[in-house]
């Protein structure tokens, strides 16, 4: 039986570490960084489970306190992994960035409470107990663990289903679907383990779900700019064509273009690393701004040019978005030793206002360069 636990956990640890090391060696986006920590926590979970079954039942008196620590890590890491999955989903679904940190703090409170309760198991025995034979037993309040761990998975699963129901763009739907299936394998595994405590299956379910998401994360590199985390030009052009086709003839749309003035000069004077840092900061500003609106997509279009496409917004709202971008760049300059300037232009109309997508892009680009020329005049 011990060999079964060792084989199961070692296989899971190896798979988790392969994914972990692959993400670690790349310049990752924010959501991938969260997934990185999810994998690390999953490894700790497997190690705790393996140590638990290795030490359990041994007669050495020094084993009992070690078992309490190991099992506490086992339960705590499972809850933390669920929480990290919850945060990962917030990022992938584009939950409002201005509210995200508040939600994180509020939703992180059950973790703190649970870890405290689990750590007090030697006194309370609510989550688990270790008997005189150094055998593990579930506590009377084990349901707290199930409630917290599954709460963190249930909430983003429901949010993802709601997002799929609302989203009409098939490309975005394809990116979101794996988030729904993540819950399936751990759910089945945990239900089995509730009725068969000796079955070490939860980590197997986590591995299967993690592989599905990992493959999707890998696929995202095909259409994501790794420096900024925004869509790349290839995907954005495809997105524009498909989205505009779906819009009603009278639905207002806009395309905003923004570029960094004299980025080449920055690269020459201060190094390419500084230029890349500027692009990262601008990418974050654009993404942060766009996430406040439900019908906007963004892209690092090429080099130092960024694009923002939206529909259903009137002129006053578009001007407000443009002003917000300018204000955030100004705030960035106020808190930096180096000042940058950007040129922003946009074009507004309906799908019938333009002969094709190329014309829409060209006109927005012209407006952006007009802004640059006006500043030089």
pLDDT-derived band at 4, boundaries 50, 70, 90? low
pTM of the predicted model, to two decimals? 0.63
**Lowest mean pLDDT, pick from 33-47, 152-166, 356-370:** 152-166
Beta bridge partners of 297: 309
The 10 Å Cβ neighbour count of residue 209 is 22
Per residue in 178-222, pLDDT tens? 777 777 888 788 788 777 776 677 888 888 888 887 777 666 666
SS3 309: strand
Residue 75 structure tokens: 């339960």
Q: How far apart are CA 71 and CA 77, in angstroms?
A: 10
Per residue in 52-84, pLDDT tens? 888 888 888 889 999 999 999 999 999 999 999
Q: How far is CA 40 from CA 25, 34, 44, 53, 255, in A?
A: 14, 10, 7, 21, 40
Q: How far apart are CA 104 and CA 88, in angstroms?
A: 11
Domains identified in the chain and CATH numbers = 2-223 (1.20.1070.10), 233-376 (3.30.70.270)
Per residue in 181-191, pLDDT tens? 777 888 788 78
Beta bridge partners of 137: 129
Q: How far is CA 29 from CA 4, 222, 230, 348, 354, in A?
A: 37, 14, 9, 31, 34
């Amino acid at each position: 039986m011990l060999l079964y636990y060792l084989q199961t956990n070692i296989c899971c640890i190896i798979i988790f570490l392969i994914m972990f090391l692959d993400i670690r060696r790349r310049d990752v986006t924010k959501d991938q960084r969260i997934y990185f920590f999810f994998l690390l926590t999953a490894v700790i979970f497997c190690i705790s489970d393996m140590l638990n079954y290795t030490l359990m039942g041994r007669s050495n008196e020094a084993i009992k306190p070690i078992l309490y620590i190991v099992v506490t890590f086992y339960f705590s890491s499972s809850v933390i992994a669920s929480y990290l999955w919850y945060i990962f989903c917030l990022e992938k679904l584009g939950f409002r960035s201005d509210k995200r940190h508040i939600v994180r703090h509020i939703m992180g409170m059950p973790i703190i409470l649970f870890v405290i309760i689990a750590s007090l198991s030697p006194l309370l025995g609510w989550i688990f107990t270790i008997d005189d034979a150094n055998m593990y037993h579930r506590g009377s309040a084990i349901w707290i663990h199930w409630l917290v761990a599954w709460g963190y998975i249930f909430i983003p699963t429901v949010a993802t289903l709601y997002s799929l129901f609302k989203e009409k763009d098939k490309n975005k739907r394809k990116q979101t679907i794996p988030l729904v299936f993540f819950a399936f394998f751990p759910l089945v595994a945990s239900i089995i383990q509730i009725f068969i405590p000796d079955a070490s299956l939860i980590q197997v379910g986590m591995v299967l779900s993690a592989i599905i998401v990992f493959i999707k994360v890998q696929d995202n590199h095909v259409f994501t700019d790794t420096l900024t985390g925004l869509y790349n030009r290839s995907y954005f052009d495809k997105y524009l064509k498909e989205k505009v086709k779906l819009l009603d003839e009278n639905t207002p749309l806009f395309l905003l273009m923004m570029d960094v003035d004299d980025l080449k000069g920055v690269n020459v004077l201060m190094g390419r690393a500084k230029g890349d840092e500027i692009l990262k900061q601008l990418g974050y500003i654009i993404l942060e701004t766009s996430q406040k609106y439900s019908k906007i997509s963004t892209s690092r279009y090429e080099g130092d040019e960024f694009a923002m496409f939206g529909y259903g917004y009137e002129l006053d709202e578009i001007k407000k978005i443009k002003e917000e971008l300018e204000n955030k760049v100004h705030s960035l300059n106020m808190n930096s030793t180096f000042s940058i300037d950007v040129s922003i232009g946009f074009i507004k109309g309906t799908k019938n206002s333009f002969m094709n997508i190329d014309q829409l892009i060209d006109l927005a680009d012209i407006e952006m360069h007009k802004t640059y020329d006006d500043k030089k005049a």
